[in-house]
Amino acid sequence: MSNIDAILARLDNVRQGTKRNTWMACCPAHDDTHPSLAVAETDDGRVLLHCFSHGCDWREILACLDLPESAVFPEKASQHHIRPERRPFPAADILRVMANEAIFLCAASRTIQNGGALTADDHKRLILAGERLQAALSYCGVAT
């Protein structure tokens, strides 16, 4: 039985709320004749409890239901299908871009070191290489 099912099974006058994964019920922490307790389950499996009538504390509500505080927290995040963060570019691709830009910078440096001059296109390409390296660092969360 899931956490939300265990909680809802112990409440009186439960009815479906207006939003997905929400319910209203009588609050067990006070003499409630009209449903004033909002119950909601978040996407990660946590259960939220809010008494609109008396502002009863969620710990008090759980105690009245004879449930531990852990009843409002999921057992394991993996059981609730939390999608891992996906980055649009694999790290290897970012490293390849950085390596290619570094090779271009080395070639431009060698040209200058040997007394050669860079063309206007070379200067534009140097600026692009710097921007790409800066973007790669930013993407990886490295402060510059």
Given a cut of 70, whether residue 88 has pLDDT beyond it is no
Kindly indicate the confidence band of residue 78, based on its pLDDT and cuts at 50, 70 and 90. Answer: very low
Give the phi and the psi of residue 108 in degrees, each rounded to 5: -65, -40
| Partners of 38 in the β-ladder | 24, 50
Q: Span 122-129, mean pLDDT?
A: 90
Nearest alpha carbon to residue 125 among 142, 144, 103 = 103
Query: Residues, the chain, total?
Result: 144
Compute CA 1 distance to the chain's CA centroid, rounded to the nearest angstrom. Answer: 26
Query: In the chain, what are the domain boundaries?
Result: 3-80, 91-139
Given a cut of 80, whether residue 77 has pLDDT beyond it is no
Rounded CA separation 105/132 (Å):
12
What is the model's pTM? 0.52
